[in-house]
Structure 1
Amino acid sequence: MEISRLSDRPISPTGAKMFKVAFDLDVDDSGWPPVSVERLWGEKTDVRFEIRVVNTPFFVRGVSFGDLVRVRPDHERRELVYDGYTSASGHSTIRIIFMRADVRQSVEERLRASGCSWETAGGFPNLMAVDIPSDVGYGELRRWLLARVDAGDIEIQESAISVAHKEG
């Protein structure tokens, strides 16, 4: 991500201005998710108040990398806030929670070989947010991940599964 010298605002690989979008979250009785708002980077589109999400959410459900969302300015909070879903990118989002640290390398190798990317967060060292591009066959990868779940190595959460990945 490049930083614009004029505004210190990141510029996406496509050259579009980037904005943080606040997604308000409902925290359940058990305290999950551990945050009440997640802010995702998005790039401006040609449609007013529409943003293309350009990172993978850790806690927001139903949104994936590349999805288009509507935003509204919240003047009191001084930020853009998620206002609705516009269209899907075809990507899917899953989260992996590592129950055993010694399996992380093999999981990362399998994800990389499958064509996936992921993000990690310093405050949550056992959590990985995984982007599954539309051209990745999720069925085989899912079976492999579920075998790791059965072995007690990881837990997974399917946060946003695209139509193509549900069918494949």
Structure 2
Amino acid sequence: MSESSERPVSASGAKLFKVAFDLEAEHADWPPVSVERLWGEKTDVRSEIKVVNTPFFVRGIAYGDLIRVRPDHERRELVFESFTLESGHSTIRVVFLRSGLRESVERRLRDAGCSWETAGGFENLLAVDIAPTINYGELRQWLAERVDSGDLEFQESAISAIHRSQLNSTS
């Protein structure tokens, strides 16, 4: 199978670029990769990219966030340099601890208005995008109940100011 030489485009028609995020080990076996590559589209600001997918392992970055990149000529790729501006979206990771739960969890996420990504090799993992319009306080409470029952674990990777304020008002 041959790969197309054309660069993919976003829903808005903008050309997409892969950005490499070098990851530091948090534990002996986490994250399970040393680099995660996310899609992004250029903005009008030099060396600035808008992230257009949800990270699995990168912390502190969510869909729509603006980041600064630098070219790494040795690696022949764009590399994350710094965070510029949050989009209002949040990112969490959901890890299933028991089989048979995925459908009900995905239904609850869909009903809340979330979207998510999956990756081959990580069948028990969802990278979940939480849009700014979603009440994260309610969703988080539901997830915490699933954690208490031993069904799943979740990790808050990037929680926006909008969603943090919802947590503060529910405590």
Alignment of 1:80-119 (within 5 A): 80-119=78-117
Q: How many Å separate the matches in 1 of 2:30 and 2:134? A: 29
Alignment of 1:62-141 (within 5 A): 62-141=60-139
CA deviations 1:71-117 (Å, max 9, x no partner) are: 00000000000000010000000000000121111100000000000
TM-score by length of 1: 0.95
TM-score by length of 2: 0.93
Q: How many Å separate the matches in 1 of 2:108 and 2:49? A: 31
- For 1:149, the equivalent position in structure 2 comes to 147
- For 2:41, the equivalent position in structure 1 comes to 43
Q: What is the total number of aligned residue pairs between the two structures?
A: 163
Q: CA deviation at 1:17?
A: 1.2
1:20 is matched with which residue: 18, 21, 25? 18
Q: How many Å separate the matches in 2 of 1:40 and 1:89? A: 16
Q: Which amino acid aligns with 1:54?
A: V
Secondary structure of the 2:106 match is helix
* Higher-strand-fraction structure: 1
Q: CA deviation at 1:28?
A: 3.4
4+ residue runs over 3 A deviation:
none
Secondary structure of the 2:45 match is coil
Q: CA deviation at 1:47?
A: 0.8
Q: How many Å separate the matches in 1 of 2:85 and 2:26? A: 27
Q: Which amino acid aligns with 1:94?
A: I
Where structure 2 has 5 or more consecutive residues not aligned to the other structure, the ranges are: 167-171
Identity, % of aligned pairs? 68
**Counterparts in 2 of 1:52 and 1:103: CA distance versus 1, 3 Å:** same
Q: CA deviation at 1:62?
A: 0.2
Where structure 1 has 5 or more consecutive residues not aligned to the other structure, the ranges are: none
Q: How many Å separate the matches in 2 of 1:28 and 1:140? A: 29
Q: How many Å separate the matches in 1 of 2:163 and 2:10? A: 26
Provide the aligned C-alpha RMSD in A.
1.0
Q: How many Å separate the matches in 2 of 1:64 and 1:29? A: 22
Matching of residue 57 in structure 1 with residue 55 in structure 2 = yes
